[in-house]
Amino acid sequence: MLSIENVSYAYIKDKPILKNINFKVQAGEYIALLGESGCGKSTLLELIYGLMDIEQGAIFYNDKKLLGPKFNLIPGHPFMKYLAQDFSLMPYTTAAENVGEFLSNIYKERKQARIKELLEVVDMSDFANIKVKNLSGGQKQRVAIARVLAKEPKILLLDEPFSHIDNFRKNHLRRRLFNYLKAQNIACIVATHDSTDALSFADTLHIIRDTKIIVSGSPKEVYEHPTSTYVASFFNEVNEIPYSSLGISKKGKAVLYPEQLKIVENSNIKATVLNSYYKGVFYLVEVKLNQQEIIISSMKAYAKGTKICISL
């Protein structure tokens, strides 16, 4: 369906922000782009949408090469929608009017049904007749999501789509939106630094660092087999512990999540508790192991100074 082939881009000559980016997207697939701020995630979405001209490489949709503003009077592609972080809404019209802006007025009943459906997807039905200027940042973001879905794109590009939305509503919205996209067979590429967007819903993760995709795979593969502390840190607290501290006769360091370590009654790995942090259904226990501070998941708290034993 969509093929990104050896794409490179630089805002400043000889200082590329992206280099030799390659991946494919199939119909209905959800691709998550993870990376620290400034790594090129947003730039890649803009290149895919055709807002900038590709310097090296090419992007194809069903074997047709996609071109940028040098070749298109109006940037963008009719089968694709892009939601940037600035939303681009009309402030003095209602939420419903924003969603229906580009829908035909010929079939008014069909248009109103479509607007109603999409406002329900983003849980904004109660605000349909409220002007956008009177909505909160999170509400505006939800309207913007509905708006880019209005004309049923084949591919949806989302840049930090839940950044303004409250945590208590975010998880519910994720489930509704991504289930809707799957049901409609709409491909989705999401640029995010929030691992929850990716782990629970994505089909494939691409992690970008230093201009390149350094890791690709399913969420399960990438989470369970992180290739570095950088990769692991997107998903959880992470410990980088010398094998010697774990009683393993091997050079180098182990990259371990807190839940991969356990406090036990007896073992050869001794540590001292520094702090316990309540996380709801569990605690994160900070301990000192051979002059190094590490984090362990535990079902109970431990007092500062407590001597404990650890196992893998």
Count of structural domains, the chain: 2
Q: CATH no. for residue 265? A: 2.40.50.140
- What residues does 28 pair with on adjacent strands? none
Q: What are the pLDDT digits (tens) for 69-99? A: 888 878 889 899 999 888 889 999 999 999 9
C-alpha–C-alpha distance, residues 162 and 40, integer Å: 19
Q: Is 270 helix (H, G, I), strand (E, B) or coil?
A: strand
161 and 32 belong to one structural domain = yes
CB 273 within 8 A of CB 302: yes
CB 268 within 8 A of CB 221: no
| Res 22: pLDDT | 97
Strands (E), 195-306: 204-209, 212-217, 239-242, 253-256, 262-264, 269-278, 283-289, 292-298
Q: What are the pLDDT digits (tens) for 135-181? A: 999 999 999 999 999 989 999 999 999 888 888 888 889 999 999 99
223 and 139 belong to one structural domain = yes
Q: CATH no. for residue 174? A: 3.40.50.300
First CA to last CA distance, the chain: 44
Give CA separation, 134 vs 28, 129, 258, in Å.
34, 11, 43
224 and 267 belong to one structural domain = no
